[in-house]
Structure 1
């Protein structure tokens, strides 16, 4: 099993704050006094490896699912070189570089392919439940010709074709379909401005068998109790469900209402910001913004509404939401099924060199220049990078009203 992580670097509008990690944990505890994360597979009474313990603690909230690590990796050679073949990080560095070129506009916002990659990752991982027996993050959405034709997967054809092209190029170098789909999701979230830096496991087994049907909810569903139960059967709590829904901040709809095709689910669909939660709190969506019936139902449901409100906090909402999303998605990707031992630790970092101006409320108004790098650190150093009591930098201005012009 290989262990990957995606730290994001913010070089603007950051400051040191003592005890921030404790504050985030306190907020999350207040939000979830009756919720615990369910462990499955070999994490229930296993987790004897370094990676296993790290994943267990990530899912249960014992530690962050994000890392604060520093770059120390450089690709040792070309893809076909012997030294690259011997280096676990090398092929993934090449893949992420290729993905990033497709996932970011010149103005720094994320593209339609990035948005689709976020959705592809969840749809491959989410077609599963504790009673389904099969399914989950197994690459079947790429490898099965039937699964992609299901109505809930409309709009994923282009990103699937892109993924298959990449898979064809790199499968001989240790890249599997199952891992690639989740890797694409995580690179996409990092490529979107303000997106979280997430942990990723590789080592999943591919399956050409279609995942079970009827486990991805309809966007037209209006029964919040049904939706919450559907996700609880995937070990995803209402708290985690509310966090996962925030990915709609970079979504557009094309099939729920074809007469309004292309409308974003918030006003800035090229930015991983809190506008989705803020605009869901309005009586009506802003002009040009589409509101899914399922999102409306969950925004006012007892189990999820408090999280919708918490994630709008102007000071800490972005930080808390990114942390919660990282934990929730780690759970939804069923990483516990694949923990078998640590080989290496790969960290992917988006660095952001930005020029930012802020209004009186601390809202960012402009940012420029984005890049992505990959690096390797040893597992023994992981504890250094986990936020602890003391000072560390974090992003505090959390909302973009404009990024180099129009947001696409």
Structure 2
């Protein structure tokens, strides 16, 4: 599918923007008239998909969908003269009966079917809509995406993408406990996820070990096996640990890697940047990461050889347990 219309990247205003020269409905202005229709999409999403701007299930799933649509792209196959996928092209929505049945895409069928009527209603491409909806979803967590290059260059970027798991919860790995969060603050982009993934696992929150699940350190918390492995892998452990105390770096790296993901498989020069449509959210305060109540430094499996594990305070109170994320 062609991805020629609009790249929905959430950005800060930059000097390269031309002065707005087109007036849309309700007095809103844009640099390119083609962006006006995206205000209608934005208003519809905020009112009818994202519950008036709440950071709920559709918000999390829309963010997840940006990755699952874009990541099916292989430069290696293209170099071999084979088709390597279309990247961020909307194929997961256009060919949902095929792609959502892949095991790696388990659970995304729900958000695909929820989003499709919006894209059809506003007559925008599936690829554009998926990235735009994900960008609007990110707006609920006060994060922005800036356009950069188009190729993964380092294993650390895998870690940077997993910053999205700071707002994640599982539904399908263990279907007996839907809405099980990945950390104790599942509605914020903060560092607690990176601390808790490094704690010794002691239990399963549901019916025991499932494919892709690892022992968790806290009651009611879910841990993906892949998160546990990447957090402890020598190639990625230091990047993982760095986010515990450097929230600014976490934000900027997530912005960069998600911007690359949004145009994967395409040339940004061929696209229209309508990021100015995305509203800028109010500032939020992010608390410093702590060891959960009932845990100590002895529970940490530090894996970064180059840098000592940071000194953290311990949250007060009885041992931490996590409640499921309520469905929206």
TM-score scaled to structure 1, two decimals? 0.56
Distance 1:362 1:271, change over 3 A: closer
1:320: how far off? 0.7
Q: In 2, Cα distance between the equivalents of 1:137 and 1:329? A: 11
Corresponding position of 1:113: 58
Which whole-Å CA distance do the structure 1 matches of 2:191 and 2:54 have between them?
15
Tell me, which stretches of 5 or more residues in structure 1 are unaligned? 8-65, 202-233, 364-405
SS at match of 1:332: helix
Partners in 2 of 1:301 and 1:281 — Cα distance? Answer: 11
Whole-angstrom CA distance in 2 between matches of 1:127 and 1:326: 20
- Partner Cα distance (2:180, 2:237) in 1: 24
Is residue 241 from structure 1 mapped to residue 140 from structure 2 by the alignment? no
- The counterpart of 1:160, out of the listed 74, 94, 112, is 112
CA distance in 1, matches of 2:117, 2:106: 19
- 1: CA distance, partners of 2:325 / 2:21: 32
> 2:7 touches 2:131 (CA, 8 Å); kept in 1?
no
Q: For residues 348-387 of structure 1, what are the alpha-carbon distances to aligned partners after superposition, in whole Å with 9 as ceiling and x for unaligned?
A: 2332276x6x98x699xxxxxxxxxxxxxxxxxxxxxxxx
Give 1:140 shift.
Answer: 0.6
Q: CA deviation at 1:5?
A: 4.2
Residue equivalent to 1:76: 24
Looking at structure 1, the residues matched to 182 and 76 of structure 2 have their Cα atoms a distance apart, in angstroms, of: 32
* Aligned position for 1:182: 131
- 3-state DSSP of counterpart to 1:160: helix
Q: How many residues are treated as equivalent by the alignment?
A: 260
Distance 1:187 1:242 in 2: 22
Aligned to 2:84: 134
For residue 241 of structure 2, the aligned residue among 309, 318, 329 is 309
- Quote the Cα distance in structure 1 between the aligned partners of 2:49 and 2:193: 20
The alpha carbon displacement at 1:67 in A equals: 4.7
Q: Is the 8 A contact 2:8 2:132 kept in 1?
A: no
2:86 aligned with 1:101, yes or no? no
Q: Note the 1:42-57 alignment, pairs <5 A.
A: none
Alignment gaps of 5+ in structure 2: 78-82, 202-216, 291-323
Counterpart residue number, 1:198: 145
Using structure 2 for the length normalisation, give the TM-score.
Answer: 0.68
Cross-structure match for 1:352? 282
Contact 1:126 1:333 in 2 (8 A): no
Pairwise CA RMSD of aligned residues? 3.5
Matched residue, 1:333? 262
For residue 16 of structure 1, what is the aligned residue in structure 2? none
Q: Deviations over 1:75-123 (max 9, x none)?
A: 6228xxxx99x822211112122223356567x7511111111111101
SS of corresponding position for 1:101: helix
Once residues 7 and 266 of structure 2 are traced to their aligned partners in structure 1, the CA distance between those partners, rounded to angstroms, is 14
Q: Give yes or no for contact 2:168–2:181 (8 Å, CA) kept in 1.
A: yes
Q: Structure 2 vs 1, CA of residues 299 and 255 (structure 1 numbering), >3 Å: closer, same or farther?
A: same
Q: Which has the higher strand share?
A: 1
Counterpart for residue 367 of structure 1: none
Deviation of residue 148 (structure 1)?
1.5
User: Following TM superposition, by how much is the alpha carbon of 1:292 offset from its aligned partner in structure 2, in angstroms?
Assistant: 0.4
Distance in 1, matches of 2:157 and 2:45, equals: 27
Q: Closer, same or farther in 2 for the Cα pair 1:109/1:278, shift >3 Å?
A: farther
Task: Answer whether contact 1:3 1:200 (CA < 8 A) is retained.
Answer: no
Q: Is the 8 A contact 2:181 2:222 kept in 1?
A: yes
Matched, 1:298 2:218: no
Is 1:254 aligned to 2:186, yes or no? no
Q: Work out which structure has the larger RCO, using CA pairs closer than 8 Å and 6 or more positions apart in sequence.
A: 1
